[in-house]
Structure 1
Amino acid sequence: MIRNINETQPGIAVLRIAYDAANDAGRKIFVIIDEYDHFANDLIAMGVDAIYQKQARANGIVRDFYETLKIGTSDAVGRIFITGISPVMIDDLTSGFNIASNLTVDEHYNAMLGFTQEEVDTLIKATGVDKKLITVNIQTYYDGYKFHKDASLRAYNPTMILYFLNRIVKSGKIPEEIIDDNLKTDYGRLQRLTMNRENRETLLQIIRDDGIYSEIKTKFSIDNLADTGHFVSLLFYMGLLTIDKADRGLLWLKIPNYSIRTIYWEYLMQMIADTNREVQLNLSEWQ
């Protein structure tokens, strides 16, 4: 089987070989896909939407892959678990993969999407980190996420808190940079997503008010990102907004913590710098 996969069966045909092998062995396949939307988010950030549309829509390789997975559920595939950042592909894959349930906004899975305070305390104890070394308020920097209005617990961002504790374990002191540089990826996506005036104004409103009233879309296409509701929903899925409370039939989505707030500030400072640069260029034309 391995020889056939490596030498003669490229691409989606690999799945069919796996199905045959599982059926012959009387076994079920458990499919786990991490960051299913990674390529889509990168293409959105780079502004090459046409490539995304070609791959995710009719007759594209991504769509064919998920259609083949769906076919497999009739016999060889027992269960599929998929993680990702946003539901931006779900709408484009609906007809080919209309068997999925979105657990992200399910109240029962709220604590699954981050570390609770109890889990962070357990992690600190398990790694032997002396609490006296934690001289900053980690809740202020890394906590604050809630994914359902009725959820009782808020969650820490796992990447952020693990970065912080890992630095303490390695050096015996808190990191000089409290905020992980990996967050800069989200800053780059923000720049791309706010190229149109409507999204830019929405983002400025969020910075000014520390949040925004909105509903959360559970699926949407790349074509809808200029729409305010879809744009705000994408910020929620990216971890740049989180649920605070329900009010007046809508959700109040707020900036979750200080670390994320710095991303907004950096965006604002860059926008001001770009505006000043344009003004200077315009003035130079009159000199």
Structure 2
Amino acid sequence: MSAPMAGLTRRPVAKLRSMGGSRLENLCLGLLVLFVLVAVFAPWLSPQDPTYGELGTGLVGPSADHWLGTDQGGHDTFSALVEGSRTSLVGPLLVVLVSTVAGIAIGLFSAWRGGWVDTVIGRLLDVVFAFPALLVAILAVAVFGKGMTAPVIAMSVAYMPYTARLVRGLAMQEQARPYIAAYRVQGHSALYVAVRRLLPNIGPTVLAQSTVNFGYALLDLAALSFLGLGVQAPTPDWGAMINQSQAAVLRGQPLSAVVPAVAVVVVVVAFNIVGENVGDRLAGRKT
């Protein structure tokens, strides 16, 4: 591959690496890394078993034994928060991975084939767009039962059009560039050009969109657990913790509900800020 072509292929990645983030973005990145580390090392960070509760210690305030107090069932709030980070982060991660991979494949295929294939795929994506992700997840739970599997699959389908449309638009723009025509003239297959040459150019922008999608997916799954349709007890989950602590709020002990709610808000806002800042830098805007 010639030097000019190599420069074209690596241009967006180099641009992304060369521009540092703002202080707010760096703070958000630090918070996200912290939450990920907490989720990875949750079994070693939890001082107590979050599924074990003593009725006699229900609704107690922060103490040496219970750093963030307990809920009405006597479960340690800090331990539940730490262990709940696993389910609360893994679910959105699966949604983003599945929806991104499927969206990239559909978007590239639609842009490359064009014509009636592109039109049909576009209309099908419009149909999926008509249904909010949370509604699709609730329908999946109604059909397949409560838990994590059905909502994750349903929300992956609901989030897929966002990536597919973005990839299609970017791929259509890239196809007009000289380096794509050069690879075609050299006899490279469409699959090789699309995956090995075109995809690296649009990858950073897709990554920015996926980062934003992660925050929204986390919020939707937390809302589903809050409604009692997602992760089921005794498995800790931030949304389920908020739901189970409603009685504690009414009794003047809101900490067991406030702490997971704050965790959800912080992670969602952090992912949105990071994703939007990355997108702004790629678009040449100042953050």
Same fold (TM over 0.5): no
Structure showing the higher helix proportion among its residues:
2
For normalisation by structure 1, the TM-score amounts to 0.28
For normalisation by structure 2, the TM-score amounts to 0.28
